[in-house]
A and B are shown apart, each in its own frame.
Chain A
Amino acid sequence: MSLVLRFAAPRAAAAASQARQRRRFLTWCLAPSLAVLFVITLAPMVYLVVVSFTPLNLTNPATAWRFDQPLLNYRLLLSDERFLNSLWVQAKLSFWTVGLQLAIGVGFALLLNLRSGLLRALRTVFLVPMVLPPIVVAIIWKVLYTPDISPVYWTFKALGLSLPALITDPNWALPAIIAADTWEWFPLTMLMVLAALQTVPEELADAARVDGANSWQTTAHVLLPYIRGTLMVAGLFRLIDSIKAFPLIYLLTDGGPGSVTEVTNYYAFEQAFNFSYLGFSSAITVVLVAATLLLSWVVVHMTGWGAAE
Chain B
Amino acid sequence: MRANRIIIHVLAIGLAALVLAPFLWLVRMSFQTNADIFAFPPHLWFSPTWANYAALWQSEFRDSFVNSAVVTTSSTLLSMLVGVPAAYALSRMRSRSNALSLWIIASRLAPPTAFAIPYFLAYRDLHLLDTRLGLVVIYLTFNISLVIWLMRSFFENTPRALEEAAWIDGAGFWRALVSVVLPTAAPGLAATAILCFVFSWNDFFFALILTRSNAMTAPVAVVNFMNYAGWEWGRIAAGGTMVMLPVLVFSLFVRRFLINGLTAGAVKG
Assess the B9–A272 pair: CB atoms within 8 A: no
| Bound: A196/B198 CA distance, A | 25
Chain A 120-137 residues near chain B, CB threshold 8 A: 122-136
A272 proximity list for chain B (CB < 8 A): 113, 116-117, 120
B121 proximity list for chain A (CB < 8 A): 47, 51, 278
Assess the A133–B219 pair: CB atoms within 8 A: yes
Assess the B82–A33 pair: CB atoms within 8 A: yes
| Bound: A282/B117 CA distance, A | 7
Assess the A135–B223 pair: CB atoms within 8 A: yes
Assess the B25–A151 pair: CB atoms within 8 A: yes
Assess the B16–A51 pair: CB atoms within 8 A: no
Assess the A48–B118 pair: CB atoms within 8 A: yes
A112 proximity list for chain B (CB < 8 A): 8, 12
A210 proximal to B (CB < 8 A):
no
| Bound: A121/B8 CA distance, A | 14
Known A-B contacts A36-B144, A47-B122, A127-B255; the reply to A281 vs B107 at CB < 8 A is no
A192 proximal to B (CB < 8 A):
yes
B117 proximity list for chain A (CB < 8 A): 48, 51, 272, 278, 281-282, 285
| Bound: A126/B67 CA distance, A | 30
A222 proximal to B (CB < 8 A):
no
Instruction: Write the nearest CB–CB distance from A192 to chain B, whole angstroms.
Output: 5
Known A-B contacts A136-B244, A278-B121; the reply to A285 vs B111 at CB < 8 A is yes
Total count of chain B residues near the partner, CB < 8 A = 97
B56 proximal to A (CB < 8 A):
no
B contacts with A: majority SS: helix
For B267, give its contact among A118, A157, A234, A288 (CB under 8 Å).
A234
For B223, give its contact among A32, A187, A251, A278 (CB under 8 Å).
A251
| Bound: A200/B204 CA distance, A | 39
Assess the A37–B103 pair: CB atoms within 8 A: yes
A88 proximal to B (CB < 8 A):
no
| Bound: A69/B61 CA distance, A | 46
Query: What residue of chain A has the Cβ atom nearest to residue B233's Cβ?
Result: A149
B252 proximity list for chain A (CB < 8 A): 124, 127
| Bound: A111/B209 CA distance, A | 43
Known A-B contacts A122-B13, A292-B110; the reply to A33 vs B148 at CB < 8 A is yes
| Bound: A118/B12 CA distance, A | 9
For chain A, which range describes its interface: under 10, 10 to 19, 20 to 34, or 35 or more residues?
35 or more
A288 proximity list for chain B (CB < 8 A): 111, 113-114
Instruction: Write the nearest CB–CB distance from B237 to chain A, whole angstroms.
Output: 7
Query: What residue of chain A has the Cβ atom nearest to residue B147's Cβ?
Result: A33
A172 proximal to B (CB < 8 A):
no
**Chain A 229-246 per-residue mask, 1 if CB under 8 angstroms from chain B, else 0:** 010011001001101101
A154 proximal to B (CB < 8 A):
yes
Assess the B96–A243 pair: CB atoms within 8 A: no
26 contacts between A and B (CB under 8 A): A29-B88, A33-B86, A34-B86, A36-B144, A40-B138, A47-B118, A116-B5, A123-B255, A124-B252, A128-B23, A131-B247, A131-B248, A136-B243, A139-B236, A142-B226, A143-B237, A149-B233, A158-B41, A187-B19, A191-B269, A192-B267, A233-B266, A247-B205, A269-B113, A269-B116, A308-B94
The 10 closest A-B pairs by CB, nearest first: A33-B86, A306-B98, A29-B85, A44-B118, A29-B89, A131-B251, A306-B101, A25-B173, A47-B118, A30-B89
Residues of A within 8 A of B (CB): 18, 21-22, 25-30, 32-34, 36-37, 40-45, 47-48, 51, 108, 111-112, 114, 116, 118-119, 122-136, 139-144, 148-149, 151, 154, 157-158, 183, 187-188, 191-192, 195-196, 230, 233-234, 237, 240-241, 243-244, 246-247, 250-251, 265, 268-269, 272-273, 278, 281-282, 284-285, 288-289, 292-293, 295-297, 299-300, 303, 305-308
